[in-house]
């Protein structure tokens, strides 16, 4: 991420992307037709990838706040975002 001006927030561009992966076995031979979803026999690789992405968030945040004192306003903001993101990911895994 490029350097950001002090007090200017974080300005980043991301791709619009989502992936809806559903485990097929509970549906037997006739999974429902859900637009945008695809069914797989094993969710393990998708869960592993999700956990890897969550870990990358934490590493990026750590790099961002390295060198800042815990009292710095940015430290608390980044920490809150990371904790919320990890809680969200954990609740979906």
10-39 pLDDT, tens digit each? 766 666 777 889 999 999 888 999 998 989
Q: Is 77 a catalytic residue?
A: no
Mean predicted confidence (pLDDT) in 42-64: 78
54 contacts 85 by C-beta, under 8 angstroms: yes
Please determine, for residue 92, whether its predicted confidence score (pLDDT) is greater than 60. Answer: no
Radius of gyration of the chain (CA): 18
pLDDT band of 91, cuts 50, 70, 90: low
Stretch 72-91: mean pLDDT, rounded? 74
Q: 24, 43, 50, 81: which is the annotated catalytic residue?
A: 50
């Amino acid at each position: 991420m490029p350097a950001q001006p002090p007090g200017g927030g974080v300005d980043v561009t991301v791709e619009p992307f989502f992936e809806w992966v559903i485990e097929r076995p509970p549906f037997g031979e006739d999974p429902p037709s859900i637009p945008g979803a695809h069914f797989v026999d094993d969710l393990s690789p998708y869960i592993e990838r999700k956990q890897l992405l969550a870990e990358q968030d934490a590493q990026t945040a750590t790099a961002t706040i390295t060198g800042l004192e815990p009292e710095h306003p940015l430290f608390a903001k980044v920490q809150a975002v990371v904790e919320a993101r990890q809680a969200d990911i954990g609740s979906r895994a």
